[in-house]
Amino acid sequence: MTAENKRNEAMMPDIPDEKFTIIGIDENAGEVLARKRISYWQDAWRRFRENKIALVAAVILIVMIFFIIFGPMISGYEFEEIDNTAINQGPSAKHWFGTDNLGRDLFARVWQAGRVSLIIGLVGAFVASIVGSIYGGIAAYFGGVVDDIMMRIVEILLSVPYLLIVILISVITDSKSLGTMLVALTLTGWCGIARIVRGQMLQLKSQEFVLAANALGVSPIRIILKHMIPNTMSLIIVAITFDIPGYIFSEAFLSYVGLGIQAPQTSWGALCAAAQQNFMFYPYQLLFPGIMIALTMLSFTLLGDGLRDALDPKQRK
């Protein structure tokens, strides 16, 4: 017993041992966790909700998709229905967005056109990201010479102007349908995502948690499924949302210059092209499809922005 202990004892009044009882310790009493347990996606949703701009963009998109699906029915007109008695009429109670130079109801046509534009946007972005992810993933996984060759191919493809490819394909297949355009646009469209995925996977490959899984003896397939893909997922989702407006715009542009959707089918770009001839006299014919293109692109971009912040757990405040 040290001197210090003796001193302490001297200062203490006599307390009999019986007065002490062992009450034990509650192992969880030390730290009480204040925050409720939430999953990754719940957490992402919580962060997304806080971003009001992205939320508004999402609501706008939902409303637009609703009209794109049900709009043509609501209007009460067929989108190809020609009415010679109602040519170039301005917006009215009868024709909400007016009519075009053949007397077709623009409200029905705008939403019908939206179907084409949105299908191209969604399908194009999905196909491109699936192809791109697989390609980029393979390049990153094997690395070395395989990676070099695969990435050089991507660079060559990216250097070819897509307009040239579209013209070539429509000449070769002799058609200007939705399918042809999708093929033409996705043919080079996947390159961007392939690069993003490759970059992310290369970075992940050298991360210590992948090394740790390696040290534990986890098989390569499991490492890819459990570590690489989940950690790339948010990046791919964000890339898709940013890609969709790109496809919508490309389609609009191609249809505008006459390489895209042909009459009587229509798309926003084709509507704009048709309206442009009479723009001085009937500006509303250009206004409505123009607003739709702008609104969709803006909403998808803002949504992508919000998703990027929400899906990154490190951004958590």
Partner 1 sequence: MEEKMGKAPNSEYILEAVDLCKYFKAGRKQYVKAVDHVNIRMRHGETLGLVGESGCGKTTTGRTMIRLYEPTSGKILFEGQDISKLKGKELLHFKKNVQIIFQDPYASLDPRMTIGEIISEGMDVHMKLSEEEKEKRVNDLLRKVGLNTEYANRFAHELSGGQRQRIGIARALAVEPKFIVCDEPISALDVSIQAQVVNLLMKLQREMGLTYLFISHDLSMIQHISDRVGVMYLGSIVELAPEKTIYSASKHPYTQALISAIPVADPEADTEKDRIKLEGEVPSPLNPPSGCKFRTRCRYATERCAAEAPVLREVEPDHFVACHLCE
Q: Which residues contact 70 (CB under 8 A, 6 or more apart)?
A: none
Tokens of 253: 């542009």
Residue closer to partner 1, measured from CB, 43 or 81: 43
Give the rounded distance of the alpha carbon of 76 from its chain centre. 33
What is the closest distance, in whole angstroms, from the C-beta atom of residue 186 to partner 1 in the complex?
A: 29
Residue closer to partner 1, measured from CB, 283 or 313: 313
Q: Which residues contact 251 (CB under 8 A, 6 or more apart)?
A: 116, 117, 120, 121, 181, 185, 260, 261, 267, 268, 269
What is the closest distance, in whole angstroms, from the C-beta atom of residue 199 to partner 1 in the complex?
A: 17
Distance CA 101, CA 90 (A): 11
What is the closest distance, in whole angstroms, from the C-beta atom of residue 32 to partner 1 in the complex?
A: 9
Residue closer to partner 1, measured from CB, 219 or 277: 219
What is the closest distance, in whole angstroms, from the C-beta atom of residue 131 to partner 1 in the complex?
A: 24
What is the closest distance, in whole angstroms, from the C-beta atom of residue 227 to partner 1 in the complex?
A: 6
From the CB of residue 206, how many other CB atoms can be counted at a distance below 10 Å?
8
Residue closer to partner 1, measured from CB, 81 or 312: 312
Residue closer to partner 1, measured from CB, 90 or 230: 230
Query: Hey, what amino acid is at 284?
Result: Y
What is the closest distance, in whole angstroms, from the C-beta atom of residue 33 to partner 1 in the complex?
A: 5
Where along the sequence are the contacts to partner 1 (CB under 8 A)? Answer: 27-28, 30-31, 33, 35, 37, 40, 43, 207-209, 211-219, 226-227, 230-231, 313-314, 316
- Torsion, CA 92, CA 95, CA 97, CA 103, rounded to 10: -120
Distance CA 58, CA 299 (A): 7
Residue closer to partner 1, measured from CB, 276 or 315: 315
Quick one: how many helices (H) and strands (E) in the chain? 12, 0
